[in-house]
A and B are shown apart, each in its own frame.
Chain A
Amino acid sequence: MLCASGGVSEVTGIVPRTMQSLEWNTGPARKEGPQVRRIDKRMQSSTANPDQNTMAAITSKAWPPAESEKSGTAYALAGVARHRASDESGTVELLRSLAHLLRENRTQLCEEWSRRISGASLLTAMTKEEIFAEAIAVYNNYVDALESGTLEALQAYARSLSERIIPRGVETREVIGIVLLLRDVLARSLFAEYQSDFSMLNRVLDSYEPAANRIANTVAVGFVQERERVIREQQEAIRVLSTPVLQVRERLLILPIIGEIDPQRARQLTEQLLRGIRTNRAKVVVIDITGVPTMDATVANHLVQTVDATRLLGATVIITGLSPEIAQTLVTLGVDLSKMNTVGDLQGGIEEAERLLGYKVVPISELAHAE
């Protein structure tokens, strides 16, 4: 049991060592597990002289707990120091024994947790088996984070988990709900464990709750950040795809616009259109707005400006596919459309453009007949 989890052996292992030599990281390779070493490193890196700090902590019994909350290092240090200064066991040790307890009951608690997840109809996108497998992994990471007080590993796990579950349509409320459920399940198990010793239960909860809240916070923030990253990527993809400028004939471009136009997209559209005119040496441009559901005054004015700018480059714009709603809105808004060349549909627009360019499309049969 001790070898498998290492919970108690770490506690008993670290205290005598520090009492003997106050050397933190110079001992031979240890078996206790990654958590111990991590704490050691953190303490070394952030306190230039751990000996002095520890000694100070030992001599003055009143280690301010408020300060110990500020950083994980001081926190761990305070725990060890307090533990050594008095019989009162420190937060770290408490959390360790907690972690140990939670590891022992892992299967049972995980089952309880995934049952409650299904009960609350969260994570409906995943099967029961998947939920249970993820639950075990999350649980292990959770307990590790609880024990070590470091959130990096959990953060990384939360990020990779988010990457996996976001494409499956898992929502923020579900993730937060799940983490809070785990917190509840664990707290409930602590109640069950310590119900006979009320003061002990109080102390356990004192150390458990802040740590659990921090973990919940980390996971939720990780998920939201990942989600925002995905959203940003998608926006970028849409932005790139949204405004194709296509050449249909020599000197004739079409610009089909699909979806809502916002001011930023309108600006980008103008830019791409003008560049397209330049590179293709276009004379006529057909802008097809069949796929635009609505249009407000800003965008309408932008469209008018685009038409004006196009004219300055020596090209003519034909607008096609104005829906009745948009036409009505534009008239109501009083946008000056007198100089806009509008044609009912894309086909008519292309025919008009061909006329302007001097093309005439005739069936081959007629051509043969004429000859």
Chain B
Amino acid sequence: MQVPILKQGAYLIASIQSALEDDDLVRLCDALSTQVGKSRARGVIVDVTALDVMDSFSTRTLVELATIIRLRGAEMVIVGIQPEVAVAVVRLGLKLEGVSTALDLEEGIAYLDGKARSSGKEKNDRG
């Protein structure tokens, strides 16, 4: 199934609503990495609240996606990981290293806002 990508201000929000096939996930990654340039987004939020399972493929893909998004000049944050999923992922030794996470959508947006503010400050400082 296709994951809708919503634009909210300077951010893109991809809310995964059901279990995803590997292909769907790859398609979502492609769509996000192209959209982020088209819409000049500063941040990407991937909402995984509805997922009960995250396997090694999906975690690795998400880590790759985060790197891609950063290379495209934006920030990515994963929100809504369930406690059970978090435990399972850590047990598997997949730490989602280098990916920012937040509790839920609201937190994710707050996180990106904070990032934007601090980077803005840096620019000002330099300037």
Contacts and interface: CB of A to CB of B under 8 A. Distances in A.
A31 B89 CA distance: 74
A24 to B, nearest CB: 62
Interface in B77-117: 78-79, 81, 83, 85-87, 89-91, 95-96, 101-104, 107-108, 111
Interface in A290-339: 305-306, 308-315
A270 B108 CA distance: 23
Given A308-B95, A312-B96, A274 B103 contact: no
Contacts of B86: 274, 309-310, 312-313
A278 B104 CA distance: 9
Main secondary structure of the interface of A (DSSP, over half): helix
B80 to A, nearest CB: 9
A305 B103 contact: no
Nearest to A315: B103
Contact of B103 (A270, A277, A306, A309): A277
Contacts of A315: 103
Given A274-B83, A275-B83, A278-B83, A312 B89 contact: yes
Q: Which of B86, B87, B101 has the most CB of A within 10 A?
A: B86
Contact of B89 (A278, A309, A314): A309
A313 B90 contact: no
A193 interface: no
A281 B87 CA distance: 18
Contacts of B102: 314
B91 A305 contact: yes
A310 B83 CA distance: 8
B60 to A, nearest CB: 15
Interface size range on A against B: 10 to 19
A275 B86 CA distance: 11
A251 B15 CA distance: 25
Interface in B12-37: none
Interface in A234-291: 270-271, 274-275, 277-278, 281, 283
Contacts of A313: 81, 83, 86, 101, 103
Contacts of B104: 281, 314
Contacts of B89: 309, 312
Contacts of A310: 86
Contacts of B108: 314
A310 B103 CA distance: 10
Contacts of A271: 83, 87
A274 B87 CA distance: 9
A312 B107 contact: no
A315 B111 CA distance: 11
A306 B89 CA distance: 11
A305 to B, nearest CB: 5
Contacts of B83: 271, 274-275, 277-278, 309, 313
A283 B102 CA distance: 9
Contacts of B90: 305-306, 308-309, 312
B122 to A, nearest CB: 18
A312 B81 contact: yes
Nearest to B100: A314
A69 B87 CA distance: 57
Nearest to B91: A305
Contact of A278 (B87, B96, B103, B111): B103
A275 B103 CA distance: 12
Nearest to A270: B87
Contact of B101 (A270, A305, A311): A311
B120 to A, nearest CB: 17
A262 to B, nearest CB: 17
Q: Which of A270, A281, A283, A309 has the most CB of B within 10 A?
A: A309
A306 B108 CA distance: 21
Contacts of A312: 78, 81, 85-86, 89-90, 96, 101
A275 B102 CA distance: 15
B94 to A, nearest CB: 9
6 contacts: A283-B107, A305-B87, A305-B90, A312-B86, A314-B79, A314-B103
Interface of A: 270-271, 274-275, 277-278, 281, 283, 305-306, 308-315
Given A309-B89, A313-B103, 18 more contacts: A271-B83, A274-B86, A274-B87, A275-B83, A281-B103, A281-B107, A306-B90, A309-B83, A310-B86, A312-B78, A312-B81, A312-B85, A312-B89, A313-B81, A313-B86, A314-B102, A314-B104, A315-B103
Interface of B: 78-79, 81, 83, 85-87, 89-91, 95-96, 101-104, 107-108, 111
